[in-house]
Structure 1
Amino acid sequence: MSEMKEKDLAGDVTRATVRASMWTVAARWAVRGLSLASTIILARLLAPSDFGTLVVAILVAGLLDACSQFGFNELLIQKQTDDEAYYHTAWTLNAIRGLLIFLILVLIAPSAAAFMNEPNATGLIYAVSFISLLDGFGSTKIITIQRDFKFSIYFTLQTAEKVLTFILTIGAAYVLHSYYAFAFGLVAGGIFRLVTSYIVAPMKIRLSFLHFGEVFQFSRWIIASNILLYFSQNWDAAIVGKNLSADQLGLYKVSKDIAIIPAAETMGPLSVALFPAFAHLRNDIEGMRTLFYRWQSATHYILIPAIVGIALTANELVPVMLGDKWLAATLSIKIVSIAYAVNVFWLWPTPIYSAIGRPNLALYERVISVLAVLVMVTLGVYYFGLLGASSALIAANIITASAQYVMLRRIMKISIQETFVQNWRAYVGLAALIVAVQSVAGPQNAVLLLSLKVVIGVLVYAAVCFLLWLLRGRPSGFEALALDLSAKFFTRLGLRPRAL
């Protein structure tokens, strides 16, 4: 009887995770669509150096933010509690944190900008400091949306905020033709988050330190892990910004933004949805392993080919999306795309570490990641400049992925052999995709050539994977799941597709 209950729980969690993932991915892709449109327009209105100035401001503010992330959200989700005292304690600590970050940034802004050899960043640092203040006073009960899998609300909030910031940033850039346009969008987003947090999740404001000890005990690993995450994600940009020009930093920033689109806008929301799912299954290792393999297959069948596709079409993608003044970013985009394909091989396992109450594992992983990025990117920039920094990310991500495998194997007994057994058809399809796209020779028009490469790549990849699946006797796996979901989708539309 207990075994049946465990299976029902795993099934319920999986279904809830699928729904949550669909909403969070939809939200992130809606936001990314607007961000992409914003980048395309801003790339034509502003110069690479303007983007470099923005990166410097975010680097400075991001360090303070990482140093003070207490992990309130993770704790509240893991506790699965409605005790008001937890939310009051979290709100109190958040407010203190936001106020301190605001004051520190205001004081250090000129010196920090000068240290990064970008004095123009001072004004943007002031703007970012105000956002930290606003975020510190938001309703902490907003996390119940994630805890209770209410991701349709999450979708609405994320999309609405991005629409607002998109309109204001583009409008300001058109009028000002200056990096100050970013400040309008950033501040508007902060105000929107503050107001809507109380509309969606109202709470009475009360100062409380009742659970401070418990929060600190849980958060000590989270804080250290977030600091290391900041360095692992931003150390490369800091090195580029310190040693190269604002133009070079802007090119590097946009290269990463383009290359990371599939990874960040899929793995980011997936991590949000997987954390409560793994938290529900934290005492069921077999259930966790099954859930992990299912989502890893989805990543390898969809995400990695999409990332590789960006590298294969970068020659056409850059002039179409950004314009000719960004052509210098083309090779960097190709290289960084390969780095992110390595980056998502084992998903992003931090939610798993936190869900089982082992946030220290995330700390260990990020120590390795930071050291790898520090050594590799520093050497890359010193010897080869911008392209050296891009290439170094591949080596750093291979080292990090190796560490992730060791820790996941200890937690859930996963194996690299099982990964290849479940996903080998995707790898063969990816090889066919690469050959097909590389063989395309078509019109001189970049838009037409880009479209032709995308269509041929998608058709060849899907055909090879599907054919191999049929030849293997239609085993259970991603192809079967994709067909099942497609059949259900068409059935809801009133259509009845034939069974294959």
Structure 2
Amino acid sequence: MSELNSAILKNLFGKLGVYLIQLLSLIILARMFEPKVFGILASISVFLVFFQLIAEVGIGPALINDGKISKSEQNGIFTLTLLSGVMIGCVFYFFVRYLSLFYNDDIYLDLAWLFSLIVPISCLSIVPTTNLIKDYRFAGLAIIDGVSLLISIACTMILSTKLEPIYALALKSPIYFLAKLILAYIASYSTTSGMPNIGFDFGAIKRIKSFVKYQLAFSFINYFSRNSDDIVVGKALGSTSLGIYSQAYNIMKYPLQLITFGMGTAIQAVLTNNRDNVSYLIYEHNKLAKKLMFVSLPISLYFIFNSHLIVEVLLGGEWIEVAPILTILAVTIPIQIVTSTTGAFFQVLNRADLLFKGGLIGATIFVTLIIFSAYFGSLKATAICVALAFFINSFCTYYILFNRGFKISVLVFGKIVLNCFTIMVPYVIFYTFVNEYVVSLISVSNSVFYQVMLSLVTLILSSLPYVIIIRMKYLVKTDKGYHNG
């Protein structure tokens, strides 16, 4: 097993526990709080991410990319993250107060101070978290995430008996980030780089500023492209509609998070030392992309055909309006999972400039289609436009990665995709027929447990021929012409 595969698998198994805790959180909290509460907090969170990006200035990936950071330089960067977090946190405090005018709701005035605390807390966790990543401590990071989530969920449930629902749920994020900071800081003590402290050696800033500049620019562009839908839905359709859309998007993201969250950092950490061997990078990319395509398709089909059942199990019957939106968004799961790795390969190639250009094109596509969807005034229209944007953006991203990054024709990767489709398309047809038969069996029982088990049996039985053929014909074969150059 290659070092990259090993790192990714360690990260995947570590994230499985976090994934299950997130599902538990969703099941519990969706039954405790109304869609409007989720919608209000989502409308703040979408801007919180933007201010976090400003405060963090792309330092995390830059530290991974630069292997020459000394202890004193690390302390200087740690101090910089503290100062940046405090300043941007203060700005965010006044910005959230402005949101009360934008959304015409005074509740934002009461939540401003609470969410502004998140910015400096999350910034302080950058350096200790990066130290763990550089040592391939993905299992440790997963444990930190999981424990932090459990603490925040428990506190939210306790606070819900003492406070109004909006404040109890709002406290979940600050508690999570604080717990994560404390645990990551303690864990960093045993890393190669050690526990960061306050220092004033800012010499590394000059060395990483070029990378940081493009990384930050890409983060800004990527933010607007991936969050413009929440902004448009919240403003045009209201908090309740945003709560419904947000839950559909979050459910769709769970398999993405399980498979891809942290994969980018693993790719960057492992392959950075091989950045001059482009043929090897192409080999690793294509092998990984094929595996991701094959793994993601059954997940996508299950979500498409069982969206109502998934929503009923996870959120409850009162959230059933989430189901049709989830069905549309689930179509994009394979393309999102595969494309999610491209950013890491741009970083490995030290071409953050290309990452930025791809992000700029993607942002233009996403924002244009999402604004266009607002004219229809429906969540379905927004979901369709978002799905279309994902497909168009993936094509543009791969064109830039191969033609400008790897400096070979994107048709090389196109041939691999077409070869995968020769198995994937028949599988889709076979799954559809099997599922239609199972639907008739499901209708004879109202038991949710019976329906869930039958849907899973359908997935497994229909996937067996698919898995066997992949093992025999595709999974072990990669474009070997690019392995050794």
TM-score of the two chains, using structure 2 as the length reference = 0.89
In structure 1, give the amino acid aligned to 2:450.
Answer: L
Summarize the alignment of residues 16-95 of structure 1 with structure 2, pairs less than 5 Å apart: 16-95=3-82
What is residue 160 of structure 2 aligned with on the other side?
173
Is residue 141–residue 184 contact of structure 2 (8 Å, CA) maintained in 1?
A: no
Quick one: distance in 2 between partners of 1:330 and 1:26? 28
Given the alignment of the two structures, is residue 223 of structure 1 paired with residue 255 of structure 2, yes or no?
A: no
Quick one: distance in 2 between partners of 1:113 and 1:439? 51
Q: Once the two structures are superposed, what CA deviation does each residue of 1:12-31 show, in whole Å capped at 9, x if it has no partner?
A: xx633223212322233322
Q: 1:439 aligns with which of 423, 427, 437?
A: 437
What is residue 180 of structure 2 aligned with on the other side?
193
What is residue 279 of structure 1 aligned with on the other side?
272
In structure 1, give the amino acid aligned to 2:434.
Answer: A
What is residue 418 of structure 2 aligned with on the other side?
420
What is residue 6 of structure 1 aligned with on the other side?
none
Is residue 332–residue 390 contact of structure 2 (8 Å, CA) maintained in 1?
A: yes
Q: Once the two structures are superposed, what CA deviation does each residue of 1:251-282 show, in whole Å capped at 9, x if it has no partner?
A: 00001011121113211222221121231221
Summarize the alignment of residues 54-453 of structure 1 with structure 2, pairs less than 5 Å apart: 54-138=41-125, 140-176=127-163, 178-201=165-188, 202-410=195-403, 411-412=405-406, 413=408, 414-422=412-420, 424-440=422-438, 441=440, 442=442, 443-453=445-455
Q: Once the two structures are superposed, what CA deviation does each residue of 1:284-314 show, in whole Å capped at 9, x if it has no partner?
A: 1121111112211221111232123111101
What SS does the corresponding residue of 1:439 show, helix, strand or coil? helix
Quick one: distance in 2 between partners of 1:59 and 1:68? 15
> Identical aligned pairs, as a percentage?
16
Q: Which region of structure 1 is more displaced relative to structure 2, 232-241 or 420-429?
A: 420-429
Quick one: distance in 2 between partners of 1:362 and 1:329? 33
In structure 1, give the amino acid aligned to 2:227.
Answer: N
Quick one: distance in 2 between partners of 1:222 and 1:275? 14
Is residue 96–residue 136 contact of structure 1 (8 Å, CA) maintained in 2?
A: no
Q: 1:464 to 1:62 in 2, by over 3 A?
A: closer
Quick one: distance in 2 between partners of 1:431 and 1:281? 41
Quick one: distance in 2 between partners of 1:26 and 1:185? 25
What is residue 463 of structure 2 aligned with on the other side?
461
Q: CA deviation at 1:423?
A: 6.0
What SS does the corresponding residue of 1:203 show, helix, strand or coil? coil
In structure 2, give the amino acid aligned to 1:247.
Answer: T
Q: CA deviation at 1:130?
A: 0.6
Is residue 314–residue 333 contact of structure 1 (8 Å, CA) maintained in 2?
A: yes
Q: Once the two structures are superposed, what CA deviation does each residue of 1:313-333 show, in whole Å capped at 9, x if it has no partner?
A: 012121222112111111001
Is residue 18–residue 142 contact of structure 2 (8 Å, CA) maintained in 1?
A: no
Q: CA deviation at 1:427?
A: 4.0
Q: Which region of structure 1 is more displaced relative to structure 2, 77-86 or 32-41?
A: 77-86
TM-score of the two chains, using structure 1 as the length reference = 0.87
In structure 1, give the amino acid aligned to 2:213.
Answer: R
Q: Which region of structure 1 is more displaced relative to structure 2, 419-428 or 451-460?
A: 419-428
Q: Which region of structure 1 is more displaced relative to structure 2, 78-87 or 419-428?
A: 419-428
Q: Once the two structures are superposed, what CA deviation does each residue of 1:142-174 show, in whole Å capped at 9, x if it has no partner?
A: 312211212222222122112211211233235
What is residue 496 of structure 1 aligned with on the other side?
none
Quick one: distance in 1 between partners of 2:251 and 2:369? 22
Quick one: distance in 2 between partners of 1:41 and 1:174? 14
Quick one: distance in 2 between partners of 1:444 and 1:315? 13
Is residue 109–residue 122 contact of structure 1 (8 Å, CA) maintained in 2?
A: yes
- Deviant stretches of 4+, over 4 Å: none
Q: Once the two structures are superposed, what CA deviation does each residue of 1:186-213 show, in whole Å capped at 9, x if it has no partner?
A: 2222222232233122233212322222
Unaligned runs of 5+ in 1: 1-13, 481-500
Q: Which region of structure 1 is more displaced relative to structure 2, 106-115 or 130-139?
A: 130-139
The number of residue pairs the alignment matches comes to 463
Unaligned runs of 5+ in 2: 189-194, 479-485
Is residue 56–residue 118 contact of structure 1 (8 Å, CA) maintained in 2?
A: no
